Amino acid sequence: MNDLGTDLLKTPLYDLHVEAGGKMVPFAGYAMPVQYPLGIMKEHVFCRESAGLFDVSHMGQCTIRSTDGSDPAAVIEQLMPGALKVLKPGKMRYTLLLNDTGGIEDDLMVTRTFEPDGMLYVVVNAAFKDKDYKILEEKLGDRIALEPLEDRALVALQGPKAGEILASLAPEASELNFMEATMITLEGVVCWVSRSGYTGEDGFEISIPADEAPDFCKRLLAFGGVEWIGLGARDSLRLEAGLCLSGHDFNGDISPVEADVTFALGKKRRESGDFIGSKRILNELAGGPSKIRVGIKPIGRTPAREGTVIADRNGKEIGLVTSGGFGPTVGGPVAMGFVPTIFAEKDTEIQLIIRGKAHPAKVAATPFVKQNYKRKSAS
């Protein structure tokens, strides 16, 4: 049943997934585990209570240098609105790859490495890595050298026990704060480790040479309190955490203001407007967008999936759900979608049209569950 054909790519951890009973499905051109025998619900809860191990090797890892030895961040800032030039070695930032009209082609993580030339380590979404690399090549190709890291796996260890588990392999892991990264030798293997993730929990993302990845994961799984988590629970975890899924909660037509990810717009960058599509984005920042992404809490038990029509109290269609499902930690359905800005206030009563029937819902604050990041202490 796990034979999905020969067209699909396999991550370096494919055999481990099959061994663990992972149900393999096609995702972004890869055969990926959607769930393991534990099931999505239990995997989700396990990650929130202990530590979940995710194979995210399908994501696009690459390095970016400038061709003339100058700061590569200064070059890519043309296409991204985040404060990247100011990134010090070991610091990472969530940013957006924009198009000419200020729409979001993809979201990505940019980290400054410790290389003397200021080399950046970049991770983009699996589904868009080819597109993203092409955009960067076409628009900046003469000024940057982008090198995909094809020989590396990427795994995430997420959850309240992730810190103590990784620290038992390498004490320096505990020195990392949220959105910091460094080189750490884990089990004799040099890894690029960041304190980041896509679950709302504390945790790490670990870039490791492909041939070392299976043994490293086996070692992690040998700890009590670590389980494989599949794509199904990865989606419900990020949805509860209020995190966007690129291509669903935004796309090339949606601006950062509409997607309500303005935290990704650097303060000084807003003033200078020195990035692609800034005219629309700055206009929307000043005058407010006509529609905006909001959290949605259905009142009943019926999950509202992506594509569900959102209506006002009178039944008039006002928008669409872009992500939705059941939140195991919330214990009920949760969703996100776009509504006209006048409907965006918390607790605004709306309706969700599911299979022809109107179900009451309210606009809700996100995240739906508290984020548990390990931030630098305020002292």
- Footprint of another protein on residues 147-176 (CB under 8 A)? none
Task: Report the residue from 34, 135, 169, 358 that binds another protein according to the rule CB under 8 A.
Answer: 34
Told to check if 303 binds another protein by CB under 8 A, we report: yes
Half-sphere exposure of 333 (CA within 13 A, CB side): 24
Told to check if 27 binds another protein by CB under 8 A, we report: no
**Which tokens in the block code for residue 102?**
């200020």
Told to check if 266 binds another protein by CB under 8 A, we report: no
Task: Report the residue from 159, 295, 333, 337 that binds another protein according to the rule CB under 8 A.
Answer: 333
Is residue 81 within 8 Å of residue 281, measured between CB atoms?
A: yes
229, 246, 93: which is closest to 159 by C-alpha? 229
Told to check if 232 binds another protein by CB under 8 A, we report: yes
- Non-local (6+) Cβ contacts of 119 within 8 A are 63, 64, 65, 72, 113
Told to check if 301 binds another protein by CB under 8 A, we report: yes
CB of 164 to another protein, least distance (A): 29
CB of 361 to another protein, least distance (A): 14
CB of 305 to another protein, least distance (A): 6
Told to check if 49 binds another protein by CB under 8 A, we report: no
Shorter beta-carbon distance to another protein: residue 252 or 332: 332
Is residue 100 within 8 Å of residue 89, measured between CB atoms?
A: no
49, 30, 26, 29: which is closest to 38 by C-alpha? 49
Told to check if 299 binds another protein by CB under 8 A, we report: no
CB of 41 to another protein, least distance (A): 4
Is residue 263 within 8 Å of residue 81, measured between CB atoms?
A: no
Positive or negative torsion for Cα 20, 193, 127, 253: positive
> Which parts of this chain interact with another protein (CB under 8 A)?
1, 34-35, 39-42, 44, 232, 236, 301-303, 305, 325-326, 328, 333, 355
